[in-house]
């Protein structure tokens, strides 16, 4: 064998191996560079999206905290818009109107909003740049008005414009490695039922809701009543409760026949530094725990207008008890021989719920006003159907309004709600009209105390026909009576049920609530379809798109 013919093979093999290694090294370099570019692209895309989200939040911040929506008066009138379509059009004509848009100078849309200062302020609030390391992220936004309604929240007299905006924001990074991301979100307020729970406590601490001693919740439907033994048949469900804080339960058979809704989480011991959703020693929540996305805010009811006096009177058993009280009648029996008020009882003349307006046609008398009333006898409150004025300036009033500084039942005192106004012949019927008791509470630590003989509601089983409203921070005591049918709206007050076996048919909203006496709250599910309020702003329905 001639080995001289094999000279140089090692060199060839070495060169082949070198080429292979070089190709591998170059491939690894390209892979490494690709990974670097991919990481850089992802980083730039993330930064651009963060910038776009910053634009969403900047626009939402302006719309929530600075912007004033159109109203029924002023320079920006609701009537200038076509609110029957979505998006809302301006001007109001369908044929010439355009989508209502607020836009920054760099966005892809142009502003079509009739108030120049709003356009300017939105533009300056919703366009900016952010520094991220060595990178500058620019964002700019536009907002389209999708919906616009007007509602007067229950318990107030001030209309509120409720809007839904779609905010679209663009986040971009310029340069050799550019990035552009678009984010869209919905900013909205919603018209919601006021009384969605059997009981809601607005306080955010421990024991905001406190049930014990056999206190329970249940439900019924006043629009579809089934009666048994003279009482509505109740369901062991839908007696939901809610709070911005904690529910504390103890004592068997204390039972919430429904869900507990709260922004809090967890079950267990509640402390100031650890507010849990539910503290349970022996009670029950038959439904689940519903975590609210944010705290629920209820508007404070209007201060009673006109302001009631602070003089004190006790209505017991004598005609002289009415002395100095305008609208108070001591009963001498039915018409025609008597004065229409039940014999030996007290009758308080109702007013209308609108503030007094002597220049209106016809003039409106306004609510009846009373000071600090202590009830030791039987007092009758009325709704009324009455026609005021002469044609063509007639109005029909279907309500009975009382502005009272404080109302206290003492001993066997009883408040009775009636639907027949007795001081005329024939008596005026006011079926399906509410009695509203507006409590001022000036100088009173306990402005409402219904722990005497309770409240007898002769208007049926519809709780919206008897309404107690109080905007202060005082204490409210309720006995519950045999069967009280009504609504209590006192979102800043401290409330307690003080009797065993009492039933409250309707719903309550307070700052905090304690039911340690075994009272039962029977929630009327028909309230979901009646009185309304306005929710807090919500930012939702996010979508992302790479441009």
Distance CA 525, CA 532 (A): 14
Q: Which domain covers residue 463, as residue numbers?
A: 302-470
Distance CA 382, CA 502 (A): 23
Domain-located, residue 497: no
Domain boundary among 450, 470, 490: 470
* pLDDT at 394 (0 to 100): 63
**Mean pLDDT value of segment 489-514:** 90
- pLDDT tens by residue, 342-369: 999 999 988 888 777 777 656 667 889 9
Tell me, yes or no, whether 101 and 148 share the same domain.
yes
DSSP state of 244: S
* pLDDT at 219 (0 to 100): 97
Tell me, yes or no, whether 263 and 323 share the same domain.
no
**Mean pLDDT value of segment 440-452:** 94
Tell me, yes or no, whether 188 and 199 share the same domain.
no
Q: Is the pLDDT of residue 41 over 90?
A: no
Contact 252, 212 (CB under 8 A): no
* pLDDT at 53 (0 to 100): 94
Distance CA 109, CA 166 (A): 13
Tell me, yes or no, whether 120 and 228 share the same domain.
no
**Mean pLDDT value of segment 494-504:** 80
Specify the range with the lowest mean pLDDT, choosing from 71-75, 173-177, 380-384, 502-506.
Answer: 173-177
* pLDDT at 395 (0 to 100): 64
The number of domains in the chain is 3
Domain-located, residue 417: yes
Q: Is 63 helix (H, G, I), strand (E, B) or coil?
A: helix
- pLDDT tens by residue, 274-314: 999 999 877 789 998 999 999 999 999 999 989 999 999 99
* pLDDT at 459 (0 to 100): 83
Q: Which residues contact residue 409 at a Cβ distance below 8 angstroms, ignoring those fewer than 6 apart? A: 374, 375, 415, 449, 450, 451, 452, 453, 454, 479
Tell me, yes or no, whether 174 and 55 share the same domain.
yes
Tell me, yes or no, whether 177 and 318 share the same domain.
no
DSSP state of 71: B
Tell me, yes or no, whether 442 and 310 share the same domain.
yes
DSSP state of 528: G
Tell me, yes or no, whether 135 and 205 share the same domain.
no
Domain-located, residue 91: yes
Q: Is 264 helix (H, G, I), strand (E, B) or coil?
A: coil
Distance CA 448, CA 467 (A): 13
Specify the range with the lowest mean pLDDT, choosing from 38-42, 113-117, 352-356.
Answer: 38-42
Domain-located, residue 491: no
392 confidence band (pLDDT: 50, 70, 90)? low
- pLDDT tens by residue, 425-440: 555 555 677 899 999 9
Tell me, yes or no, whether 371 and 465 share the same domain.
yes
**Helix axes 9-65 and 116-125, enclosed angle (nearest 10):** 150
Tell me, yes or no, whether 278 and 401 share the same domain.
no
Cβ neighbours around 397 below 10 Å, total: 21
**pTM here?**
0.83
Tell me, yes or no, whether 57 and 106 share the same domain.
yes
Distance CA 385, CA 399 (A): 7
Provide the sign of the torsion angle of the four alpha carbons 129, 130, 132, 134, taken in this order: positive
Q: Is the pLDDT of residue 38 over 60?
A: no
**Mean pLDDT value of segment 186-192:** 93
Q: Which residues contact residue 446 at a Cβ distance below 8 angstroms, ignoring those fewer than 6 apart? A: 406, 408, 474, 475, 476, 477
Tell me, yes or no, whether 335 and 466 share the same domain.
yes
Domain-located, residue 505: no
* pLDDT at 18 (0 to 100): 79
247 or 390: whose pLDDT is higher? 247
- pLDDT tens by residue, 152-162: 888 888 889 99
Output the CA–CA distances (angstroms, integers) from residue 84 to 97, 150, 212, in the order listed: 12, 12, 50
**Mean pLDDT value of segment 261-267:** 94
- Average pLDDT of the chain is 87
* pLDDT at 457 (0 to 100): 85
């Amino acid at each position: 064998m001639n080995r001289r013919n094999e000279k140089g093979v090692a060199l060839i093999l070495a060169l082949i191996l070198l080429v292979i290694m070089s190709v591998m090294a170059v491939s690894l370099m390209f892979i490494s560079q690709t990974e670097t570019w991919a990481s850089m692209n992802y980083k730039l895309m993330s930064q651009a999206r963060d910038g776009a989200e910053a634009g969403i939040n900047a626009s939402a911040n302006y719309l929530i905290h600075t912007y004033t929506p159109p109203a029924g008066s002023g320079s920006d009138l609701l009537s200038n818009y076509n609110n029957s379509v979505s998006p809302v059009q301006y001007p109001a004509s369908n044929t010439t109107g355009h989508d209502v848009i607020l836009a920054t100078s760099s966005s892809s849309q142009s502003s079509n909003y009739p108030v120049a200062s709003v356009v300017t302020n939105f533009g300056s609030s919703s366009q900016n740049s952010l520094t991220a390391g060595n990178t500058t992220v620019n964002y700019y936004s536009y907002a389209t008005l999708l919906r616009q309604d007007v509602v007067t929240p229950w318990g107030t007299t001030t209309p509120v414009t409720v809007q839904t905006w779609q905010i679209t924001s663009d986040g971009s990074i310029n340069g050799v490695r550019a990035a552009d991301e678009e984010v869209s979100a919905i900013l909205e307020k919603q018209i919601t039922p006021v009384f969605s729970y059997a009981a809601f406590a607005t306080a955010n601490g421990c024991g905001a809701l406190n049930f014990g001693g056999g206190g329970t919740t249940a439900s019924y439907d006043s629009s579809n009543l089934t009666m048994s033994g003279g009482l509505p048949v109740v369901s062991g469900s839908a007696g939901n409760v809610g709070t911005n804080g904690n529910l504390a339960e103890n004592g068997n058979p204390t039972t919430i026949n429904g869900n507990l809704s709260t922004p809090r989480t967890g079950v267990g011991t509640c402390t100031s530094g650890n507010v849990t959703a539910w503290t349970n020693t022996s009670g029950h929540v038959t439904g689940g725990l519903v975590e609210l996305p944010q705290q629920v805010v209820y508007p404070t009811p209007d201060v009673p207008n006109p302001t009631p006096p602070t003089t004190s009177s006790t209505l017991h058993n004598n005609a002289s008890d009415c002395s100095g009280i305008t609208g108070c009648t001591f009963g001498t029996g039915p018409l025609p021989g008597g004065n229409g008020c039940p014999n030996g009882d007290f009758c308080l003349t109702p007013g209308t719920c609108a503030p007094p307006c002597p220049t209106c046609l016809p003039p409106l008398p306004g609510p009846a006003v009373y000071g600090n009333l202590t009830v030791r006898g039987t007092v009758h409150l009325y709704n009324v159907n009455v026609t005021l004025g002469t044609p063509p300036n007639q109005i029909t009033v279907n309500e009975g309004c009382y502005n009272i500084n404080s109302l206290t039942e003492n001993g066997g005192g009883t408040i009775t709600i009636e639907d027949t106004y007795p001081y005329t012949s024939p008596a005026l019927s006011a079926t399906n009209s509410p009695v509203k008791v507006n409590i001022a509470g000036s100088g009173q630590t306990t402005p409402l105390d219904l722990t005497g003989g309770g409240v007898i509601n002769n208007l049926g089983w519809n709780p919206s026909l008897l309404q107690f409203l109080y905007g202060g921070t005082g204490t409210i005591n309720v006995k519950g009576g045999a069967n009280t049918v009504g609504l209590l709206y006192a979102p800043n007050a401290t409330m307690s049920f003080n009797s065993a076996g009492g039933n409250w048919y309707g719903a309550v909203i307070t700052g905090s609530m304690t039911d340690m006496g075994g009272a039962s709250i029977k929630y009327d599910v028909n309230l979901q379809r009646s009185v309304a309020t306005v929710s807090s702003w919500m930012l939702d329905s996010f979508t992302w798109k790479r441009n």
